[in-house]
Structure 1
Amino acid sequence: MKLAGRIDREGFSMEPSAALEQLMSAYGNTVLRTAYFYMKDTHMAEDISQEVFIRAYRNWSTFRGESSVKTWLTRITVNLCRDKTGLKMYAEQPTDPGLMERGQTVSVEEEVLKRMSNSLIFKHVLKLSEQNQEVLYLYYYLDMNTREIAEATAASEGTIRGRLHRARQQLEDYLRKEGLDS
């Protein structure tokens, strides 16, 4: 019998250790890229990713399933990143987190940095406010809908829709000024 207001855990094991392996396999890169998006530092993103999965492991038995597992992990990641941003000692040159993969060597990272420094759209995304960058990242890179973004960021869905609209409009304005509005 399924209790009202609860969903299953999307096929993940009920046993925390087994679930942890499944979660890391399914969402490891997503969590790492999201942490990197906020921290803009590879090492801090890796530390946060580890902490996300430690917290997921510790809280797996109490996860109520009121949101998707992806939304739950994203919320943990966002909250940890927001907590740590004030403690950041330095930042690397930001790159497109969608291209970042777990376990890259430094030379590959440098190549990604070089390629992304040429990414005009991402440069314009970085000109937006942090809130607008966040909503574009979660919507387009993590393929989350506005309800999931609202849950992950503790904002109302109307606020998220407004931010998404403003972010798209600002990005369109930047691209139009560059002559890239085709």
Structure 2
Amino acid sequence: MKPAGFKPKEDFSKDPDQALEQLMDSYGSIVMRTAYFYIGDRHLAEDISQEVFLRAYRKWNSFRGDSTVTTWLTTITVNLCRDKMGVRMFTEQPTDPIHMEQGRTISVEDEALIRLEKSEVLQHLLILPLPYQEVLYLYYYLDLGTREIAEAISSPEGTVRNRLHRAREALARQMKKEEPTHERHGS
């Protein structure tokens, strides 16, 4: 049995209007966090999130349900982000996507505090090449399996497994390189 977030199409209304409301309630924050991860700009991520749900609404009746709704929406999000940016370029310092809440406005002071509390792992992850960032984010932050990631990024599953393996190794090397070396009792 899959986690609650991995629902098949049958769990949603057949009526696109009702399905849209259910999709936004269930997946709004996932879509927003994913768009923000790729784009790094809160306002553009909000625009992309709206476009994702608009596309989902338009395509709801043609969505066959071959994948979970999470995978389908993630695929739409990834493709829109790639279309908008081509190559990811941050216009603001990225925040750990887990800290983002849909529709919440953050004061400048709160934003500064959140930036100070950023995940150390995310900082190391953002140094890696984009294909490694992508598979690590989708695997660990969204809990997608390798098959679902392959669907979402339009790559063979073997490529995803290979990237995931290499990304883990690169992340471990990056984190080890950044470990402080403390010598006791001076030199």
Q: TM-score, normalised by structure 2?
A: 0.86
Paired residue for 1:110?
112
The residue aligned with 2:19 is 19
Tell me, in whole angstroms, the C-alpha distance in 2 between the residues paired with 1:136 and 1:71: 15
1:160 aligns with 2:160: yes
CA distance in 2, matches of 1:78, 1:143: 15
Q: CA deviation at 1:86?
A: 3.8
Q: 1-side partners of 2:88 and 2:162: how far apart?
A: 29
Structure 1: distance between partners of 2:155 and 2:90: 28
Aligned to 1:97: 97
Kindly provide the CA deviation profile for residues 32-73 of structure 1, in whole angstroms up to 9, marking residues without a partner as x: 000000000000000000000000000001001111100000
Aligned ranges for residues 127-142 of structure 1 at < 5 Å? 127-142=127-142
Q: Aligned in 2, Cα 1:40/1:164: closer, same or farther, shift over 3 Å?
A: same
Letter aligned with residue 47 of structure 1: D
2:126 pairs with 1:126: yes
**Structure 1 residues 132, 50: closer, same or farther in 2, change over 3 A?**
same
Q: Does 1:83 align with 2:99?
A: no
Q: Is the 8 A contact 1:41 1:92 kept in 2?
A: yes
Aligned length in residues:
172
- Name the structure 2 match of 1:4: none
What residue in structure 2 maps to residue 36 of structure 1? 36
Retained in 2: the 8 A contact 1:10–1:69? no
CA distance in 2, matches of 1:87, 1:179: 30
**Residues 121-143 of structure 1 deviation map (CA, whole Å, 9 limit, x = unaligned):** 21110110000000000000000
CA distance in 2, matches of 1:49, 1:21: 14
Cα separation, 2, equivalents of 1:122 and 1:88: 16
Supply the RMSD in Å over aligned alpha carbons.
Answer: 1.9
The 8 Å contact of residues 96 and 122 in structure 2, kept in 1 or not, is answered as yes
Cα distance between partner residues in 1 of 2:174 and 2:44: 30
Query: Does structure 1 conserve the Cα–Cα contact (< 8 Å) formed by 2:39 and 2:90?
Result: no
Q: Compute the displacement of 1:109 (Å).
A: 3.2
The letter for the 1-side match of 2:55 is R
Distance in 1 (CA, whole Å) between partners of 2:89 and 2:122 is 24
Using the TM superposition, give the Cα deviation of residue 29 of structure 1 relative to its aligned residue in structure 2, in angstroms: 0.2
Tell me the SS of whatever aligns to 1:105.
coil
Structure 1 length normalisation: TM-score? 0.89
Uncovered stretches (5+) of structure 2, i.e. residues with no partner = 1-6, 181-187
Instruction: Please tell me whether Structure 1 or Structure 2 has the larger radius of gyration of its CA atoms.
Output: 2
